[in-house]
Structure 1
Amino acid sequence: MTDTAIDLSKTIPQRCVIIVDAALPVGKAANAAAVIALTIGQRHPELVGPALVDADGCAHPGLIPIGIAVLAASRDELTNIRAKGVEIGCDVVDFPVQGQETTDYQAFSDAVRKVATIDLGYLGVALIGEKKPISRIVANIGLLK
């Protein structure tokens, strides 16, 4: 079990935040947030609300009812945020920098395999879990602009 693997069945998360590297250009920041969000949806399908039905009866896919704040921090701060998330026991989804250095997933996997956890840098990190502990971690972090 890795340090980010937790029992996802314990509780329904109350807070979900994605923090991306503030130095990324807008397209790469959007990519990092999207990649992380897809993994959040896979790991936490209970976060997807019921279908939204419009006045014509047309159903639209359900969205996350608790929202997802997308924040920005420095790469060093991302490493600290990830560590604090692991420490409090929330679910942590991280996106190592190697992910935007190739379009080949196997090459991405091979590159990450060569780096110790303590030495990894991150383009983004998500924290999913209880509201208060996560809010304390991200209290002074601004929105992605």
Structure 2
Amino acid sequence: MDLHLEHIKCVVVVADSLASGLQANAASVITMTLGQRCVELVGPDVKDSDGVIHPGVVRVPVPILTAPAEQIDAIWKRSDSDGLVRVGFTALAQSCRTYEEYVDRLGATPTADLRFVGVGLYGNKKDVNRMVGSLPLLR
């Protein structure tokens, strides 16, 4: 593991009020976006002993935590000023059937009216822990 990754933390927080399938959906969307935004999270491809190449996987743990939606909104707002990479996932996004519908509906919605049901954070371990350190793991 690279030295800088030892000081990095990546977490996903989903609303505890969501059904388990919607929690899984929110977590998967957030982690895919984090992987695209933070390319150093995913390691290089690896060969097994037969020479078959397997795609690289995440290089740091990514715990999935839960919190009330109001707390996720607060984490979203506070994390803007800490130099963290953050990915929010809203109830609006979860209600859309296509990306085009999401783009249209989000474009017509003020930020203050968005209700976050998930957030992903990536950055300095101390800063991330300060935001989510006491939250429980998803069960």
Alignment TM-score, normalising by the size of structure 2? 0.88
Q: How many residues align?
A: 135
Matched letter for residue 46 of structure 1: E
Tell me how far 1:140 sits from its aligned partner: 1.0
Please tell me the root mean square deviation across aligned C-alpha atoms, in Å: 1.7
What is the CA distance between 1:96 and its match in structure 2?
1.4
**Structure 1, unaligned runs of 5 or more:** 1-10
Partners in 2 of 1:117 and 1:15 — Cα distance?
27
Shift of 1:53: 3.0
Residue 71 of structure 1 aligns with an amino acid whose one-letter code is: L
Selected match of 1:118 from 109, 112, 115: 112
SS in 2 for 1:87: coil
Structure 1: distance between partners of 2:112 and 2:85: 18
What's the offset of the Cα at 1:120?
1.1
How many angstroms does 1:114 deviate by?
A: 2.5
Match of residue 99 from structure 1: 93
By how many angstroms is 1:73 displaced?
0.8
- Deviation digits for residues 45-84 of structure 1 (CA, Å, limit 9, x no counterpart): 1211122333333221111111111101111011001112
Determine helix, strand or coil for the equivalent of 1:88.
Answer: coil
State the TM-score, normalizing by the size of structure 1: 0.85
Alpha-carbon deviation of 1:143?
A: 0.6
Percent identity, aligned pairs only, is: 36
**C-alpha distance in structure 2 between counterparts of 1:47 and 1:137, whole Å:** 20
CA distance in 1, matches of 2:28, 2:108: 25
- Amino acid of the residue matched to residue 22 of structure 1? D
The gaps in structure 2 that reach 5 residues or longer are none
Q: Is the 8 A contact 1:96 1:112 kept in 2?
A: no
